[in-house]
Amino acid sequence: MPEHGSRTTSGSDHPLIRQSRTGEKGTAPATPAAGTLAARRRTGILVTLVLGGLTAVPPLSMDMYLPALPEVTRSLHTSAATAQLTLTACLTGMALGQLVVGPMSDKWGRRRPLLVGLLVYILATAICAFAPTAELLIAFRLLQGLAGAAGIVIARAVVRDLYDGVEMARFFSTLMLISGVAPVVAPLIGGQVLRFTDWHGIFAVLTVVGIALTVLVWRCLPETLAPENRHGGGTVEALRTMKTLLADRVFTGYMIAGGFAFAALFAYISASPFVIQEIYGASPQTFSLLFGVNSVGLIVVGQINGKILVGRVSLDKALAVGLAVIVLAATALLLMTSGVFGHAGLFPVAAGLFVLMSAMGLAMPNTNALALMRTPHAAGSASALLGTSSFLVGAIASPLVGIAGEATAVPMAVVQLVCALAAIGCFLGLCRPWQHSARPNREGTDL
């Protein structure tokens, strides 16, 4: 892997940049005064919180809205499948938007495309709050996703600018802790908002969140991509870069495996409001509580990955365990929802969903880290491909979970199992971790 420890930023003396580079091969850490070190730590924590907020945009945009899906169906006089298309539209927009924003950030830096995307996100979300028809809501959810993609792709690119190797995997787990709070609190907030208003109010809250995040980015996030490291080409150059990335079999393997794992997760996100509330009769508040508990499981496992496993266990092994557990959980859910064990109540189904969600704490940060380790030269484009593959596969999975109507959870379990098996197939068939498991990384841990 090419070294890039000498990379600077347009504000090359920014303390976060210098701090993040220390400890890399060929970069000698400075001996700062106590005051300077304290300032660096404060800056690093603040930027970490901003990046966590950016990665929280997708769960906030989707999960806060989940308890309202049945109400949207009734309010707009539409079907459950059409209501789920409002999720699919947002997810599709986030997928396609990353293909545009990622290369833009490699050409113009991280800040400008990010701020433009956030401003459009605010506008689209505000319009969603007043949408009178399902069709108009779907259209502006698509625009909301296109704009929200800027936060996702650029947050990953900034991490790649600042970190490498095991440190990057650890930072992704830290981001999961911060952004993981979003799916915990989002349905809870959504459920409480529905006690005082209707689904329109949820988009009003999201608009305020978008405004607050834009202000934080403007004031607190420095430029992390130096002018000399930017790509001067246009669309043709961006496409050429992506073609080169996709020609890397191992990168593509991690990308697709991560995409299918995300699709299994999104099958749960899309179907769970109807499964928990309509099939098992839970209230929006109970659903929000269960969703929050599952998200806590994801956060805890993500922190175990970042704080305990990374540096001691190879990232490939941790990823393999995560994918295997997802397969087992999806299999159990299929057996329960199809009636093999008789009528399964809410508790065993919720337990299976909890295990599946928790295992994502091993799958998601490690696929991102392992893929981005191979692409120091085009972090924006690589991040765009990672995000686009995940969101596109998730967008396809979303309507499939409701294909048999609202009275059965079998389609959700089938989609989850198929996606989990596909993720393992790509991991083994394309990444072939046994071929590079003996190669040590900078800290002596097998990759």
Average pLDDT for consecutive 10-residue bins of the chain (447 residues)? 38 39 38 39 67 81 79 82 82 82 81 91 92 90 91 84 75 70 71 82 90 89 78 67 86 92 84 79 79 83 84 88 94 87 79 91 87 76 81 76 68 90 93 66 40
Other residues' Cβ atoms within 10 Å of the Cβ of residue 446: 15
Core vs surface per residue 179-210: b (16+ CB within 10 A) or e: bbbbbbbbbbbbbebbeeeebeebbbbbbebb
Q: How far apart are CA 53 and CA 180, in angstroms?
A: 10
pLDDT of the residue at 11: 39
Q: Is the pTM of this model over 0.75?
A: no
Contact assessment for residue 152 and residue 110, using Cβ atoms and an 8 Å cutoff: no
Q: How far apart are CA 209 and CA 192, in angstroms?
A: 16
Q: Could you tell me which residues come within 8 angstroms of residue 6 by beta carbon, excluding any fewer than 6 positions away? A: 26, 27
pLDDT of the residue at 405: 57
pLDDT of the residue at 20: 40
